[in-house]
Structure formats: C-alpha cells, structure tokens
C-alpha cells in the first residue's frame, strides 16, 4: 500500500500537467466545434425592445455634465429618461435585479435644487466639489450598493441586502452620481455567461439567443442598448472586458490596486486578491473613461499622471492576432473578423505615423495555467455551497447534478470552485515554475511597453456565444486573466460588428500605471471607427 501511494503521488505531481494540457486541447477542440455548429444552426433572435427615440440617451457623461451645469437639462429629466429606457428594454434583456428608481428621482430633485440656487460663481464651486452632479449610473450587484440585493446569484444569500456602499460606489455618489439599480451577474461571479438559477438569463442586446458575457453581464447588456450613462463593473478574469466586447461597448480594467475593491462580494482577506481583482467603468463612450477613472481612483488618480500627456504620434503600438505553433492546439483560434479589426487599427496608426510591430505570443503559451494556478492559491474564498469547508466530493456531486439541471447552483460556479480546491492539478513544483515564468513575463512586457507602448491583443477569440456553452468557452480565459495576474491595465475597444451582426473588438494593454495610454488609444479608435453601434438604428425625431 505504501509503495502504491508513493507511485500515485509521483504520478499526480509529475504527470498531471501534461494531462491538464491534453484536457485543454480536447476542450479547445470541443469548444471550436460547438461554437461553429451554434453559429450555423442557432437562429438570430433580434432585439424586441424599442429603438432609442430620445437624443438625450446618445450623449456622453461629459456632455451631460455640461448640459446640467448650463441648465439645459435637469437631473430629474435625465434620470426619468433613463428609467423609462431601462423599463423598456429590461423585459427583453433581464438585466436588472433590483432598482431604486423612486429614491433616484428624489436625489435628482435635490441635485436640481442645488443647481437652481447657485449663481455662476457658486456653480463653478458646486461642480468642482461634485464633478458628476446629477448623473445617473448603474451598478453590478456584486460591487455593493447599500439597501439593494447582495445575493450574487447564490441561493444561500437569497434575501441578503447590501449594508453599506462599496468604496467605489461611495466615491461615485460623493461626486454627485445617482445609482439607479443593481444589475445581473453569475453566481459568485464565476462564469462567462450571466445565467443563474435565481434570476435566469441575462441576454445579449444584439441577439437575444446569446449571452451578454460575464461576470458584469447585466452592465454590458444595459450599456449596450443605451440604458445606462455608464456602469460600474468588476474584473478578476475578464469580467469587465468580456461583457464590454459581447455588448459592443468600452470597458477598462485598471492597473492592480488602483481602484478599490472594498465592499465587493465574494471577497477574502488574502492580500493577493487586491492585486488581481479590480472594479472599473463600462461605457458606450471611450472619451468618458478618463473622467470616470479619475473619480473612481480617488487619491490614487495622481499615480496615473494624466497631467503629463503623451502625444499620440509618440506611442508605440505592438500587436498580436493570437497563438501560433503548438500553442494553437490548446488555445482557441481568433475569429477572422477580430483579426481584421486589429489590422484596421494598426493600419490606421501607421497612417498617422506611429511605429507598429507585430509580436508572437510564445511567452503567453502558459498564460492560462499561470492565471488559474494564481487564483487557486487565494485563501479564504467563500464557497458557493454555503459550507465553510466543502469536500471535493460535495463539489463533484454538485457538478454532476448541474449537468442534468438538478443542482441548486450553476455549473460554472461549482466547477470553478472544484478546480480551485484541486489546484487545477498543478503540483507545487510546477506552481513555483509558473511563478518564476509569471515574473519573467511581466518584466518582459514592462520593458517592451515602457512609458509609451501599448499592446493590441484579442479580448476573446470569438464574438458572443450561445447560452449553456460557457463552461466550454472558459478555455478562452487566458488573454484576459493573465493581465489581472500581472497587474497590467487593459481597455476593451469596440470595433463594430462581425458578419453575424455581433460586436467585436480587442483589448489595449499598457505597463502598470500607464492606463492613460489605453484610454488614449481607445478614444483615437472611437474617433476613427465610430465606437458603439446601436443594436437597433436610433429613431430620433427632429
């Protein structure tokens, strides 16, 4: 027995990584086949909600602040217009978990009273203190909005309400913003599709048969159809960038620790979490990102050195389309339309005189394994089962039940927790090798990008996929999760629609605290290619 145990341990430690990669290769093939079949066979379900008919819904945050300050529009009018839009679209999208519309209207009335009483000098002081006074916004449930649902898709937390605003919500409210609601997210934010046992499917605003992404899926859906000025999301492995891509908007994952995650759920006391998880803005307008980031970052905004601008012509652009060589076997191929979007961006910058260079992603070959192993090392993460220390057998049983629709939890949530407890079948020796490789990869990127370089890479290999295929599509996590683990800022840039009428785009990555480069490139591309494309043509009456 002792000899057998020893051999088993040796097998587990030395041979499971090749086994894991073989599983990834099989999963990659299955994912490709399933997505291809879905794209052939699944009929498009066009939006059933009405088009935008009020031009106010087409204005950026910056424009709206200016209009409110100049008393061209009241906050009450703005808030009520967005409430009407939300009510019009939500029956189709199922993006709202709980609203606070009545309180929001009262807060808008208060903002209007402050503005009405102020003379020109007092207005300057008022908006200096409250730079986003009267602007409504929407909030991902897991980021914490006082008094509203804080269940995060989990049956054991069904009636839990948030007791206190998260730190970033507090900063936005202190700047004069008015929260309207909390939006849908997957159970414990552990899925690439927002589809829970408690709340059902949150749908893509461009095709109701497809996902809005995860985990900030509700924010992606609302922003994508023009039902929010901007949304507050969170990102641990692409949870801002993926919904932004699938729903045709912009989303920014900030440099590690720049934005507070205090008050988010699920959370833990492990100090490494704040280096991986971040909150951030989701918006239709790239030009709003610097405005929002300044408020969300608080005093940390000084670290971004926005007062030291870099001319666009001095930015170096590196880019890659996807994996090559042997790595292709364990990574999804990038859709041609996404590759073409990167090419269009590169050609645009070349015409503007910028230096561009294509790079290979050889150094990212183990990105998925590096990222997943880093997440498994987090201590004190709460369990979806409600138990303090669930056994692996309990989780495996819940995974099996979820396959036949009998679990009270979502498949991706229990599957990801099981993988975390199993440490993704990576031995401690291999984990140490990955830590060394992770450090080397970050040093390589920081050295390459410097203070004036950006990297354009796919956010995700394909446009929005079908419901109930999220588990397979987890194989596409690598080029999102790795930048969380490395702590680099990344902005998803929307670049129009693919041949199926679904949004596509890519992410812009920079060195730590060079977020301004990501936002600058996003704004340039928005100007050059138009940015957000409404799911339904607007019907604005002149």
Contact assessment for residue 140 and residue 185, using Cβ atoms and an 8 Å cutoff: yes
Contact assessment for residue 503 and residue 245, using Cβ atoms and an 8 Å cutoff: yes
Residues 371 and 276: their CA atoms lie apart, in Å, by: 10
> Looking at 212, 215, 244, 407, which residue is catalytic?
215
Residues 217 and 227: their CA atoms lie apart, in Å, by: 14
Catalytic (active site) residue 262: no
Token pair 């309990």 in the structure block, residue? 394
Catalytic (active site) residue 239: yes
Contacts of 385 (CB under 8 A, 6+ apart): 156, 394, 395, 398, 409, 414, 417
Backbone angles phi, psi at 233, to 5 degrees: -120, -175
Contact assessment for residue 155 and residue 413, using Cβ atoms and an 8 Å cutoff: no
> Looking at 140, 201, 253, 287, which residue is catalytic?
140
Counting beta carbons within 10 angstroms of the beta carbon of residue 73, is it exposed (0 to 12), middle (13 to 18) or buried (19 or more)? middle
Residues 422 and 272: their CA atoms lie apart, in Å, by: 19
Query: Cis peptide before 412, with omega less than 30 degrees from 0?
Result: no
First to last CA, the chain: 83
* H/E element, 402: helix 392-403
Is the dihedral angle over the CA atoms 301, 303, 306, 312 positive or is it negative? negative
Token pair 């977020």 in the structure block, residue? 515
Both tokens assigned to 137: 């916004």
Cα angle at 249 between 247 and 252, to 5 degrees?
120
DSSP string, 209-251: TBB--SSSHHHHHHHHTT--S-EEEEESSSTTHHHHHHTT-EE
CA distances from 255 to 208, 252, 433 (A): 33, 10, 24
> Looking at 142, 183, 191, 239, which residue is catalytic?
239
Find the DSSP H helices in 70-192.
75-93, 101-117, 120-129, 167-174
Both tokens assigned to 297: 């970052």
* H/E element, 40: helix 2-41
Contact assessment for residue 450 and residue 393, using Cβ atoms and an 8 Å cutoff: no
Count CB-CB contacts under 10 A for residue 292.
28
**Three-state SS for 203?**
strand
Backbone angles phi, psi at 129, to 5 degrees: -80, -40
Catalytic (active site) residue 215: yes
Residues 482 and 369: their CA atoms lie apart, in Å, by: 9
- Active site positions, annotated: 140, 215, 239
């Amino acid at each position: 027995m002792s000899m057998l145990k020893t051999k088993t341990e040796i097998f587990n430690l030395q041979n499971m990584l090749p086994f894991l990669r073989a599983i990834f290769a099989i999963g990659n093939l299955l994912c490709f086949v399933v997505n291809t079949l879905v794209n052939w066979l699944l009929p498009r379900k066009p939006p059933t909600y009405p088009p935008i008919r009020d031009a106010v819904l087409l204005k950026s945050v910056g424009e709206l602040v200016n209009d409110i300050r100049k008393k061209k529009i009241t906050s009450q009018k703005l808030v009520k217009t967005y409430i009407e839009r939300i009510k019009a679209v939500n029956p189709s999208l199922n993006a709202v978990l709980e609203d606070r519309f009545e309180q929001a209207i009262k807060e808008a009335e208060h903002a209007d009273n402050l503005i009405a009483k102020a003379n020109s000098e007092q207005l300057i002081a008022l908006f200096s203190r409250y730079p986003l006074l009267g602007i409504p916004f929407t909030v991902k449930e897991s980021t914490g909005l006082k008094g509203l649902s804080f269940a995060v898709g989990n049956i054991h937390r069904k009636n839990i309400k948030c007791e206190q605003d998260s730190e970033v919500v507090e900063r936005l409210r202190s700047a004069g913003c008015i929260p309207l609601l909390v939006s849908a997210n997957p159970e414990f934010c552990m899925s690439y599709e927002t589809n829970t046992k408690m709340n059902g499917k949150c749908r893509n605003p461009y095709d109701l048969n497809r996902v809005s992404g995860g985990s900030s899926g509700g924010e992606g859906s609302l922003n994508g159809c023009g039902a929010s000025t901007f949304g507050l999301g969170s990102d641990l492995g692409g949870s801002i960038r993926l919904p932004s891509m699938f729903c045709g908007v912009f989303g920014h994952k900030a440099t590690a620790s720049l934005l507070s995650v205090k008050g988010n759920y699920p959370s833990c006391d492990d100090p490494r979490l704040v280096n991986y998880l971040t909150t951030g803005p989701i918006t239709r307008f790239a030009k709003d990102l610097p405005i929002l980031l300044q408020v969300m970052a608080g005093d940390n905004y000084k670290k971004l050195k926005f007062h030291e601008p870099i001319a666009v012509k001095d930015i170096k652009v590196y880019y890659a389309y996807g994996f090559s060589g042997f790595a292709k076997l364990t990574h999804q191929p990038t859709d041609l339309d996404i590759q073409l979007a990167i090419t269009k961006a590169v050609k645009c910058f070349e015409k503007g005189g910028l230096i561009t260079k294509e790079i290979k992603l050889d150094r990212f070959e183990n990105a998925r394994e590096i990222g997943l192993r880093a997440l498994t090392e987090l201590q004190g993460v709460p369990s979806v089962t409600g138990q303090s220390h669930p056994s692996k057998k309990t989780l495996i049983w819940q995974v099996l039940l979820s396959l036949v629709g009998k679990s009270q939890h979502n498949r991706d949530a229990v599957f990801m927790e099981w993988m975390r407890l199993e440490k993704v079948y990576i031995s401690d020796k291999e984990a140490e090798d990955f830590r060394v490789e992770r450090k080397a990869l970050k040093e390589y990127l920081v050295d390459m990008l410097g203070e004036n370089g950006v990297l354009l890479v796919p956010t995700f290999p394909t446009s929005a996929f079908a419901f109930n295929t999220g588990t397979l599509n987890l194989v596409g996590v690598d080029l999102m999760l790795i930048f969380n683990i490395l702590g680099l800022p990344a902005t998803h840039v929307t670049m129009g629609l693919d041949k199926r009428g679904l949004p596509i785009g890519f992410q812009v990555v920079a060195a730590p605290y060079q977020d301004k480069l990501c936002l600058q490139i996003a704004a340039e591309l928005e100007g050059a290619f138009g940015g957000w494309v409404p799911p339904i043509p607007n019907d604005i009456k002149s």
